[in-house]
Amino acid sequence: MYIYDSIQKTKCHFEPIRANEASLYVCGPTVYDNAHLGHARSSLAFDLLSRSLEAHGYRVTMAKNFTDIDDKIIKKVEQTGQTMEEITDFYIDRYLKEMALLGVKRATIEPKATQSLHAIEEMIQTLLDKDIAYLISSGDVYFDTSKDASYGSISHRVSDEESQSRVAHTSQKRNPKDFALWKACKGSEDICFDTAFSSGRPGWHIECSAMIEKHFEAKDGYSIDIHGGGADLLFPHHENEAAQSRCSTGHEVAKYWMHNGFVQIDGEKMSKSLGNSFFLKDALEIYDAEVLRYYLNSVHYRNDFNFSEVELQTSKKRLDKLYRLKKRISPTSASSANKVFKKALLDAMGDDLNISIALAKIDEMVALGNDGLDSNPKDKALKKELYANIEMIDTLLGFGGREPFSYFQIGVDEQLKAQIETLLEERNEAKKAKDFVRSDAIRDRLHTLGVAIMDTPNGTVWEKS
């Protein structure tokens, strides 16, 4: 299996630090607000990675954290009067539910910053003991970037002069690039945790380093195989994380780094600061979750993704075709997937998750399947193989797993269903009587109800259009 490493900037053959195992850590959300499509894409991208690794025979251990202590959360506590836990529990719960709807598998480990404070304190203390970190009078602890010779190796950032930096300098910092490991409490209302060095809370970067150390055992100079996250985290977050880990543990945190591209709206990055967020909860109200999954995963994970309603509908059409085939072969059971097809899918996904090739192979498989059924509608062996193919797609890519008849009847209640059935019966009678004016009128009527019908040798079937 090949993956693209953002540090080496090249596609690499994946060689895990432990044979047949793959350890993954993905930066999760800061839980102070609803998840948007960007969070979904990142989640979906690494879900695809995890599934692909498993399909290629690796036992995957994936950790995805929740940042549940942060300035923005504290601000929300002040604004709403709710406790920090009330806020973070609410958004974590919602995040997990929404990701579940999108078919994202749960991570093996889901650590929270507030549950990792001991590990965080230990790591900071180690860095203080080594004089790589330093405490200033306010109680803040900073990381001395000049002590890490490899600082900059992640983002390939040349150490430009401070004049270029847009960061406001704290006078007590040794170097402009030094970053906070620990932020001391500012007032009585602040949410603080006591440590040997000061009462305060962790900086943003330290939690990931500490959690990885806590949950993974290093081997051959690396703590984990793959570290993932959004492309915006490459600097400073991952640079700083790598530095902290390297300096406190003496080995590198990750062997490979993978970063997903952004979801854009009208060609611009979707972000809270731009105010152009498309929240998942809203998207899930108007679009089918499975279609959304297919769509968000239909563009290679490293490319930026410009959200478009038209393209989402195109994705739906492609998914519909898969389900029409599934409907056509139902009911049946799975034998084993077509070997050529299976290999093609695995090869595509094994090539740094080349989803475009994978989807093309699926379209091809569907066309071939329909063709086969056109010439021999009762080919049971073919039906079973096709069913196995679709099951395989569901396992590897996370779509196609639903019961096909209900897929085409999303949002149709029992009353409408009964009405449709009655109209179809009337139309059949009209057809038998060769009263095509009447049968076409009924078809138009169904069309206005948002129902498309198809006459097949086995009778008339309908879909919600």
Q: Using CB under 7 A, which residues numbered 311 to 330 contact RNA? A: 311, 314, 317-318, 320-321, 324
**Per CB under 7 A, 61 contacts RNA:** no
Comparing CA positions, the residue from 56, 25, 43 lying closest to residue 352 is: 56
Instruction: Give the x-and-dash track for 110-139 against RNA (CB under 7 A).
Output: ------------------------------
Contact residue for RNA among 3, 5, 24, 28 (CB under 7 A) = 28
Kindly give, in sequence order, each residue whose CB lies less than 8 Å from that of residue 393, ignoring residues fewer than 6 positions away: 322, 345, 362, 399, 400
Pairwise CA distance, residues 47 & 418, whole Å: 39
Binder of RNA out of 17, 22, 24, 27 (CB under 7 A): 27
* Residue 167 lies near RNA (rule: CB under 7 A): yes
Rounded to an integer, what distance in angstroms lies between the CA atom of residue 427 and that of residue 415?
18
| Placement of tokens 């072969």 in the chain | 329
Q: For RNA, which residue of 20, 79, 137, 164 counts as binding (CB under 7 A)?
A: 164
- Tell me how far apart the alpha carbons of residues 454 and 403 are, in angstroms, rounded to a whole number: 19
- The answer to whether the beta carbons of residues 42 and 89 sit under 8 Å apart is no
DSSP secondary structure letter of residue 253 = E
Burial-class residue 316 by CB neighbours within 10 Å (0-12, 13-18, 19+): middle
Smallest gap from Cβ 455 to RNA, in A, equals 3
State yes or no: residue 436 binds RNA (CB under 7 A).
yes
Does 72 contact RNA by CB under 7 A? yes
Quick check: 424 binds RNA (CB under 7 A)? no
With respect to RNA, which residue has the nearer C-beta, 134 or 305?
A: 305
Site string for RNA, 191-230 (x = CB under 7 A): -------------x------------------------xx
Binding residue for RNA (CB under 7 A) from 115, 175, 335, 354?
Answer: 354
H/E element holding 90? Answer: helix 84-101
Residue 254 and residue 222 in contact, taking contact as beta carbons nearer than 8 Å: yes
Check: CB of residue 99 under 8 Å from CB of residue 41.
Answer: no
Which of 41, 147, 173, 255 is the binder for RNA (CB under 7 A)? 41
Span interacting with RNA, options 55-63, 138-146, 393-401, 431-439, rule CB under 7 A: 431-439
Q: How far is the CB of 72 from RNA (least distance, A)?
A: 6
22: part of which helix (H) or strand (E)? Answer: strand 21-26
Residue 453 identity (one-letter amino acid): I
- Of the pair 119, 280, the CB lying nearest RNA is at 280
| Interactions with RNA, residue window 227-256 (CB under 7 A) | 229-237
CA distance 256 to 135: 32
Q: How far is the CB of 344 from RNA (least distance, A)?
A: 11
Does 422 participate in binding RNA (rule CB under 7 A)? no
360: contact with RNA by CB under 7 A: yes
Based on CB atoms, which residue is closest to RNA, 32 or 58? 32
Q: Does 443 bind RNA (CB under 7 A)?
A: yes
> Of 94, 214, 219, 300, which lies in the binding site for RNA, with binding defined by CB under 7 A?
300
Q: Which helix (H) or strand (E) is 61 found in, with range?
A: strand 59-64
Q: Using an 8 Å Cβ cutoff, are 56 and 350 in contact?
A: yes
Asked if 439 is part of the footprint of RNA (rule: CB under 7 A), the reply reads: yes
CB 219, min distance to RNA, A: 26
Least distance from C-beta 262 to RNA, angstroms? Answer: 4
Q: Would you tell me the crossing angle of helices 380-397 and 355-375 to the nearest 10 degrees?
A: 160
Q: Which is nearer to RNA, 17 or 65 (CB)?
A: 65
Contact 209, 245 (CB under 8 A): yes
Nearest to 118 by CA among 194, 190, 191: 194
For residues 24 and 60, what is the distance between their CA atoms, to the nearest angstrom? 7
408 binds RNA (CB under 7 A): no
Among 8, 11, 376, 403, binds RNA (CB under 7 A): 11
**Selection from 399, 407, 451, 455 nearest residue 431 by Cα:** 455
Residues 268-287 touching RNA, rule: CB under 7 A, are 268-273
Of residues 302, 322, 294, 288, the one with CA closest to residue 411:
288
- The DSSP H or E segment spanning 464 is strand 459-464
Closest distance of CB 440 from RNA, Å: 5
Instruction: Assess 378 for contact with RNA (CB under 7 A).
Output: no
Q: Which of 58, 142, 256, 262 binds RNA (CB under 7 A)?
A: 262
Nearer to RNA, 128 or 180 (CB): 180
**Using rule CB under 7 A, residue 160 touches RNA:** yes
Closest distance to RNA from the beta carbon of 111 (Å): 15
